[in-house]
Amino acid sequence: MAEHPDLGDHRAGAAELAPGGPGSPLYQLLFRVTEPIIDPFRRVMPRAGMIDLSPMMAIPALLVMQQLVAMLVVPA
């Protein structure tokens, strides 16, 4: 699996929680689940020095999408 060069920016906590670090199956699972969501934001957002702000933009976007899906599934 090819890892992103700035992997530590937004997955530092996951690396500490996953026994075995980036090579562990849990860490790889977290990477595979979160990367398709975060990567599009990373492509359009400029970097703020060494800080990757894309997860902070992905979370509100996911919340908005959740509300939109809820409105479509359960009409008021």
Confidence of residue 14 (pLDDT cuts 50, 70, 90): low
| Chain position carrying tokens 């990757």 | 52
Mean pLDDT of 6-23: 60
Give the chain's domain count: 1
Decide if 52 is inside a domain.
yes
Phi, psi of 48 (to 5 degrees): -105, 75
Identify the residue with better confidence: 35 or 76.
Answer: 35
Beta strands in the chain (DSSP E): none
Does residue 1 belong to any structural domain of this protein?
no
Could you tell me if 1 and 31 are in contact, meaning their C-beta atoms sit under 8 angstroms apart?
Answer: yes
Higher pLDDT: 2 or 55? It is 55
**Looking at the domain assignment, is residue 51 inside a domain?**
yes
What pLDDT, in 10s, does the model give residues 17-32?
667 777 888 888 888 9
* Domain encompassing residue 16: 7-73
pTM for the model: 0.61
> pLDDT digits over 32-71, tens only?
998 999 999 999 988 888 888 898 999 999 999 999 999 9
Residue type, 70: A
d(CA 51, CA 49): 6
Q: Is residue 2 part of a domain?
A: no
What's the maximum distance between 2 C-alpha atoms anywhere in the chain? Answer: 47
